[in-house]
Amino acid sequence: MAIPSPQDGGAVRSVAAELFQQAGARKELSRSELETLLGALGITLAGEVEAAAAASSGELQLSLRNSREFGLVLSAGAAGLDGALDARLFRKGRSSAQALAALSSGADFLQRFQQTLAWQKLRLRAQQRREAEPDAPLLQLFERLLALASDASASGACTLQALDLTLLLRQGQFIAADARCTLAAPAPQRLARPIAKIDQLLHPATIGLIGVSGSGMNFGRIILRNLVGSGYPKSQLTIIRPDDTEIDGVPCVASLGALPHTLDLLIVAVAADAVYGLVDEIIASGRVESVMLIPGSLGETKKSREPAAELAQRINAAHGLTGGGPIFLGANCLGVVSHPGHYDSWFIPLERLPKPQKKPERNSVMLSQSGAFMITRLSQNPWLDPRYMLALGNQTDLTHGDLLSYFAERPEIETLGVYIEGFKDGDGQLFAQAVRRAVLGGKQVVVYKAGKTVPGAAGVMGHTASIAGEASLFEDVLRQAGAIVAEDINSFDDLFYIAGALHHKRIGGNRLGAISGAGFEAVSMADAIDSDGFSMRMGELQDATVRRVEDILLAKKLAALVEVRNPIDINPGADDEAHLQITQAFLDDPDIDAVVVGLDPTAPMVRALESSKLRPGYDISDANSTVNLMPALVESNDKPVLGIVDGGRLYDAMCAGLMDRGVCVFRNCARGTRALVQYVGTRLAADAMRAAAKK
């Protein structure tokens, strides 16, 4: 076979398609076939003798691998022992670069690789040998590999499973000291779910329920009570139950066939064993657009996995019918809270988890495989106040990628928080692509992935029948897509909250201003400005700002006690007004992009108590209190401001008063600063992503 010009991406794909076709049932390319493929990529395959000598001195490890969740992933790092040690010794993103091929360009991947130690070593070696910089040949190689990835299954007979290369770079030419290319049969594809029907799931004009007890308080009855209690009209509800004519004022019919109308949503709360036959009846009836499967034990236990897989196949086949068939949420699903749809189908009594509106306009979404994750987050953090909350369960049908694809196009949604235990095959790529669309559309996506450890991965398999996947790949791909990736549950709480609170603020750079009357807070803020992939720095105050702050301190009789700098300790003698005046001075400084201010609730001059016995009226109800002054300051400035209230329960009312009026408040200075740093880094990256997309 003639080797085409390596710059011709189409020709590279053509060579690969022919080679894969020739390979047929073989799962690995022969040496001669491999030499042809590498030649198309512009790589020389070393002879067997020189390969043995060069293998131990390989400089670059490159791979194009087909992952279960994300499809083809390109990765690059140091070869051999250097690569293994780098991965153990250095922080994330420094040892190697990996990215989803479907979201990458050669230039984008080169930029990622330039952040690694492997790139620095290549560059230094080239300088020592007095050779040209490695960037030009690297860019060409990355572009060729991505061209190959864009159509790695051109023949349809088999797909690229892995291309692993150990390379040397000499005089701008890549030499493969070791190379291997393995193939696999194409994986079966699920039919596309008709995700437009998610609109009927969220805003149903009619809801039916199966599994409501006529005498006891089972899950179905609790769901019925919650539907009515959350404002859904009884006249639009129907219970499918042959033994009763009505329950709690809602009419019953004997069967799906007896329904007087079609259902936008059917909620199924029966025992797991009854679901298998019921699903076939639902599909055959043609009278239901969306279904919520509440029961557990459908794929979570060893005994149920095979029948649950067969059930998923039948649901998938129904999507090939005219109209796409019904969509299914669940199973093992807590349900949905849809404020615009005026319903709450969670089986948690409203008295245990009230959902009062905390924001003037609800504009966020929470998606979670675990219903309990949403319950605990909402119970502990009521200010999150999402517009929609959906539990996915084991993703028998609708997946993370489906739901995010839907919400990425909803103009009223600004922030999405997602808890993931595992992806269905290939759904990680669909999800990452939806993240990218959401971010390009100006939205923010905060993601927390569970199952990072071996015991954790085993736990999610027993909970929602999920396969956890590789944690580092997940984080790299989702960050590449533009998501804000949380390290743990606390980090998720912080980032989801801060993203909603600061969405409309301008992120102009990485220069932080830090203010507090407690010296330890000022220092702790400065200590918290570094993260794995991004760091802020303490902005240098302009002379005019220094003089302005000095005047404020002089007026407050604090000038002799405080040196003006950043971070600044303004002394426990500072009152509410001093804190906020200095905050405004920092915000007005062109060399400050964001401000974190410790509000010092225990300081005697700060009006922080709900009610003061020592000084009646000197409390948060005072017109000059931080609670009453700070919201206007935050609203009138387009730069981000974080308030820190580091105190116990005595100061809960102060926090609630500020947060209910739109002030972003944290109870720990280091935790708040770390959240801000990660948020700012992701926002700046998203702004760059959007700017590049417009070119």
Judge contact between 313 and 272, C-beta under 8 A: no
The pTM assigned to this predicted structure is 0.93
> What phi and psi, each to the nearest 5 degrees, are found at residue 207?
-130, 135
Neighbour-count burial of 249, counting CB atoms closer than 10 A to its CB (0-12 exposed, 13-18 middle, 19+ buried): exposed
Rounded to whole angstroms, how far apart are CA atoms 333 and 223? 12
Helix axes 135-150, 9-23, angle to 10 degrees: 50
Question: What is the reported pLDDT for 83?
Answer: 59
Q: List the domains of the chain with CATH numbers.
A: 9-184 (3.30.470.20), 195-501 (3.40.50.261), 505-688 (3.40.50.261)
Rounded to whole angstroms, how far apart are CA atoms 179 and 593? 48
Rounded to whole angstroms, how far apart are CA atoms 269 and 219? 7
Question: What is the reported pLDDT for 416?
Answer: 98
Which residues in the chain come in under a pLDDT of 50? 1-6, 49, 52-53, 153-155, 454-469
DSSP string for 420-471:
ES-PPTTHHHHHHHHHHHHHHTT-EEEEEE---SHHHHHHHHHHH------H
Is the bond into 567 cis (omega within 30 degrees of 0)?
yes
Burial call 655-685: b when 16+ CB within 10 Å, e when fewer? bbbbbeeebbbbebbbbbbbbbbbbbbbbbb
- At 399 the three-state DSSP class reads coil
Question: What is the reported pLDDT for 93?
Answer: 64
β-strands 71-77, 96-100 pairing? antiparallel
Is the bond into 271 cis (omega within 30 degrees of 0)?
no
- At 53 the three-state DSSP class reads helix
- Cα dihedral 191→194→198→200 (10° resolution): -140
Residue matched to tokens 């000598």: 53
469 Cβ partners below 8 Å, 6+ apart? 67, 68, 69, 422, 423, 428, 451
Judge contact between 57 and 413, C-beta under 8 A: no
437 Cβ partners below 8 Å, 6+ apart? 405, 408, 409
Question: What is the reported pLDDT for 188?
Answer: 84
Residue matched to tokens 């290939």: 426
> What phi and psi, each to the nearest 5 degrees, are found at residue 184?
-150, 160
Rounded to whole angstroms, how far apart are CA atoms 96 and 178? 19
Q: Quick one: three-class SS letters along 112-155?
A: HHCCCHHHHHHHHHHHHCCCCCCHHHHHHHHHHHHHHHHCCCCC
